[in-house]
A and B are shown apart, each in its own frame.
Chain A
Amino acid sequence: MNEFSTLVQFFFSGLTSGSVYALIAVSLVIVYKVSLLICFAQGEFFVIGALTMVTLTSKGLPMPLAFACSVLISAAVGALVERFLIRPIRDASVGSLIVMTIAISLALRGLALLIWGKESKILPPFSAGKPIGVFGATLQPQVLWIIGITILVLLVIWLFFEKTTMGVAMRACAENRLGASLMGISTEKAAFLSWAWGSGIGALAGMAVAPLLFMQYSSGVMPMVKGFIAMSVGGLASIVGAVVAGYLLGVVEAYTIGLISSQFSDTIVFTLLIIVLIFKPSGLFGATRSREV
């Protein structure tokens, strides 16, 4: 491999992890916008999605069916968590709610340990096929799947929140609760749906990347942290910001690992985060919000 193809190789690995960070960040943003809550259990949905799919495919379910079922199961788990664990303490302080989502995260991790055990599982790639050579670098077909799924998810999100009445109603809830209530929109239903969306998308991220990783019950921790970073850098409430920041983070991280040090990559990435937040506390895409009356 020459120097250029090495750089291309790093870029591919940046796109791969960037897709994962972007998807997790988007899932966090959707929950945050509608229920003003950061769900720290998002990493667990990443794991639940992937491991459910491992189980379903090993039971002989065809890939597309296993894929759809895993997304739906994860989304249902997220929606149930909202309904029975978050909604009863809706009016509690932000602190209590955050502690609650952390507790949910640990509980779900324990549940995953109980169901799937300690050992790592690997999901077969979505399609057979040899790695593709691009500028001397190799590209796994699964990476194309990951990027394709990310693009598709973003398209579906856009269509839902722009074109469907329910999606528009959820945005209305996110922007102005009072106004939304007066239209007869149930803010509870919106929060419920936002959790279903969030956990479904988090699961998709895990499922897409599972064939490239060893997935076990605790694999969601780092992706969650990185997704959260992408969310913050993207401005907390911006889907576009989350996507751009997710990919930026993935690519910066890949080049840091490749060119500087794999040992210190997290340190370097987190230092960059600190610098961004010091100079731009509202994130790269955070609008300075002014409330008009």
Chain B
Amino acid sequence: MLKVSDIHAGYGRVEVLKGVSLEASHGEVVCLLGANGAGKSTLLRVISGLIAPAKGSVAFLGQEITRKRPDDIVRAGISHVPEGRQIFFTLTVQQNLLLGAYAHGCKRAELDKLYQSVFDLFPILKERFAGKAGSLSGGEQQMLAIARGLMSRPKLLLLDEPSLGLAPLLVQNIFSIVKDLRAAGIPILLVEQNVAAALKIADRAYIMETGRIVTDGNAAALLGDDEIRKRYLGM
């Protein structure tokens, strides 16, 4: 479904990605692990069209999407829930969600249906609907970020560090939502620092180090691998 081939990309002269390839198939949660600065977020930005790669290609559903504009990529069916949430604090929850559907230019009736479908996943957003996003708690903000990403009815969700800065209970909450989404048939490319938790819900995982994929494989197998446990889980 998603096929990233030999991507080289960076900021200015600094090359962050040095030939990254990965794939995600229908119905799976693929986890991208690695230390800070390994290039995980940069890869997501290349996929969602925020950064043009110097070399390599990205294909989605058999269609070449390399160097397309972000709005075209959203319309193609990829939704990127970025690191740090990047929700609009001065706008209301409703306005944030509205913009999630912006690329599709939705009609009123359609929007109401979409709102309803995100309320089913995140009932708290229904209560906070008219309030400012800035007044939400950290966990609620993360839910809003994911919900906003779902408003474009994605065929693939890119989730960047959804558990960052959240209390353990909320982290569990977010991970159970990831499971729900997977059950609903939305494949997810998940970037996480919380390696143990991520490997538990993922089907497969890639491990990145300084701009390259160094290991990949079945998530359960990686979780059982002594070397991986030692390096990434401290066990």
Contacts and interface: CB of A to CB of B under 8 A. Distances in A.
B170 interface: no
Interface stretch (A67-75, A173-181, A253-261): A173-181
A172 B91 contact: yes
B99 A169 contact: yes
B82 A183 contact: no
A168 B95 contact: yes
A176 B99 contact: no
Contact of B99 (A172, A186, A292): A172
Given A175-B91, A182-B80, A183-B99, 7 more contacts: A171-B90, A172-B88, A172-B99, A176-B86, A176-B88, A184-B69, A185-B99
B90 A175 contact: yes
A107 to B, nearest CB: 32
Contact of B50 (A172, A181, A185): A181
B80 A175 contact: no
Contacts of B82: 178-179, 182
Nearest to B138: A292
3 residue pairs, one from A and one from B, having the closest CB atoms: A184-B71, A184-B103, A179-B86
A143 B84 CA distance: 50
B90 A168 contact: no
Interface in B59-102: 69-75, 80, 82, 84, 86-91, 95, 98-100, 102
A182 B70 contact: yes
B86 A169 contact: no
A165 B50 CA distance: 22
B48 interface: yes
A170 to B, nearest CB: 11
B100 A183 contact: yes
B89 A168 contact: no
21 contacts: A165-B105, A168-B99, A172-B88, A179-B88, A180-B88, A181-B50, A181-B70, A182-B48, A182-B70, A183-B102, A183-B103, A184-B70, A184-B72, A184-B73, A184-B74, A184-B152, A185-B71, A185-B102, A186-B69, A292-B134, A293-B84
Contacts of B148: 183
Contacts of B72: 184
Contacts, number: 68
B102 A182 contact: no
Contacts of A175: 88-91
B98 A165 contact: yes
Contacts of B73: 184
Nearest to A167: B95
Interface string B136-177: 000000000000100010000000000001000000000000
Contacts of A179: 82, 86-88
Interface string A182-198: 11111000000000000
B102 A165 contact: yes
Interface residues of B, number: 29
A59 B105 CA distance: 42
Given A168-B91, A171-B88, A175-B89, A184 B102 contact: yes
Nearest to A179: B86
A293 B87 CA distance: 10
A165 B70 CA distance: 18
A182 B90 CA distance: 17
Nearest to B96: A172
A183 B91 CA distance: 14
Nearest to A163: B95
A186 B70 CA distance: 9
A71 B44 CA distance: 43
Contacts of B69: 184, 186
A189 to B, nearest CB: 10
A196 B134 CA distance: 29
A171 B91 CA distance: 8
A165 B99 CA distance: 7
Nearest to B72: A184
Contacts of B98: 165, 168
Contacts of A185: 71, 99, 102
Contacts of B86: 176, 178-179, 182
Contacts of B99: 165, 168-169, 172, 180, 183, 185
Contacts of B89: 175, 292
B92 to A, nearest CB: 9
For B50, B72, B95, B98, the residue with the greatest tally of chain A CB atoms inside 10 Å of its CB is B95
